[in-house]
Amino acid sequence: MLEQAFNGLVGGAFYALLALGLAVIFGMLGVVNFAHGAFYMLGAFGAYMLLTDWGVSFWVALGVVPVGLGLIGVVVERLLIRRLAGLDPLYNFLLTFGLALILQDLMKREYGAQSQPYPRPSALSGTVDLGLFSYPAYQVFVLGVAIVTCLAVWYVLSRTRAGMVVRAATERPELTRALGIDVGRWVTPVFGVGIALAGLAGVLAAPMRAVNPLMGSDLIIAVFAVVVIGGLGSIFGSVAAGFAVGLFTALANLYVPALSQTLVFILMVAVLLWRPAGLFGREEGIA
């Protein structure tokens, strides 16, 4: 039971890293980024390619891949996402979903649809004794990295002026512009950081989960539900909901295995019936 709860937190760590980026991007740009899962997938493939083509280790990939993907995110925002401002949300769907399909198929063309193996880094191949049970060291590491990353993002968001501007612009982008802040200038780096977080999650997933072109699209639907549960536009809510959903799903897997795949959506429906704006969302419209 405790072990399963731990599994849940590790799974929740991936939700949290992805939901964090999605929530900030949605809040500031009003864009639902369907390509977010594809960038997660590219994170895993990035680590895989670096290892198989150049023999670059996991540890280097852990730093290089998120930064590289973040830069690609910056380019994608400048070239494509930026043009969605003020357009019908349908274009948002077409563009980001189309982008996700293109990225998936590019990887499929190169590596096929089957999963590629990625070895655990040897330093983390053992298990850690956690007192009541022993647990794979790699999973402990993943949880640690996710928590440290979320704390670092939280620190920047809550304690710096840049973070304050991002929080304001995520909550009320139009008002923030009317108060003298050039929200457009902040959008590009924020999008880049959001993509970098997805890339980081992808690298972390590579040794643990199957590296295949569809890994992102499988995960992202659940992440959307997580963001809705946390409350659209709520940064804290998305992270909290990520860990909570991971935990619930894992525990459900223990007692009612049949439910584990659908539980996130059941939770979403229940939360929306109870609080239509999500757990940490506010019902005020975006004026």
Partner 1 sequence: MLRIDGLSAWYGEAQALRDVSLEVGKGEIVTLVGRNGAGKTTLLRCVMGLHTGAEGAVEFLGTDISGLAPHRRARRGLGYVPDDRGVYANLSVEENLMLPPAAGPDPWPLERVYETFPRLRERRRSPGTKLSGGEQQMLALARVLRMGARILLCDEPTEGLSPLIVQQIGAILREVKAQGVTVLLIEQNVHFAATVADRHYLLAEGRIAESMDNAEVKAREHELLDYLGI
Residues contacting residue 74 through CB under 8 Å, at least 6 positions apart: 188, 189, 191, 192
Nearer to partner 1, 129 or 284 (CB): 284
Asked whether 201 and 192 are in contact (CB, 8 A), the reply is no
In angstroms, the CA 173 to CA 182 distance is 10
Q: Which is nearer to partner 1, 83 or 177 (CB)?
A: 177
Rounded to the nearest whole angstrom, what is the least distance from the CB of residue 282 to partner 1 in the complex? 6
Q: Which is nearer to partner 1, 239 or 267 (CB)?
A: 239
Query: Minimum distance from CB of 238 to partner 1 (Å)?
Result: 13
CB of 29 to partner 1, least distance (A): 16
Q: How far is the CB of 177 from partner 1 (least distance, A)?
A: 4
Cβ neighbours of residue 221 closer than 8 Å, sequence gap 6 or more: none
Residue 129 or 283 having the CB closest to partner 1 = 283
Closest contact distance (angstroms) between CB of 182 and partner 1 is: 5
Write out the residues near partner 1 by the rule CB under 8 A. 86, 164-165, 167-168, 170-172, 174-183, 234-235, 282, 284, 287
Cα 97 to Cα 129: distance, rounded to the nearest angstrom: 43
Residue closer to partner 1, measured from CB, 130 or 179 = 179
Residues 6 or more apart in contact with residue 29 via CB below 8 angstroms: 81, 84, 85, 173, 187, 191
Closer residue to partner 1 (CB): 78 or 120: 78
Distance of closest approach, residue 285 Cβ to partner 1, in angstroms: 9
Residue 49 or 241 with smaller CB distance to partner 1: 241
- Comparing CA positions, the residue from 9, 20, 46, 52 lying closest to residue 204 is 46
How far is 77 from 219, CA to CA, in rounded Å?
22
Task: Tell me how far apart the alpha carbons of residues 123 and 48 are, in angstroms, rounded to a whole number.
Answer: 18
Instruction: Enumerate the H helices of the chain as residue ranges.
Output: 2-29, 36-54, 58-79, 89-111, 137-159, 161-171, 173-178, 183-205, 215-230, 235-255, 263-274
Q: How far is the CB of 30 from partner 1 (least distance, A)?
A: 14
Instruction: Give the shortest CB-70-to-partner 1 separation in angstroms.
Output: 24
Looking at residue 115, what DSSP letter applies?
P
Report d(CA 215, CA 31) in Å as an integer.
22
Nearer to partner 1, 165 or 250 (CB): 165
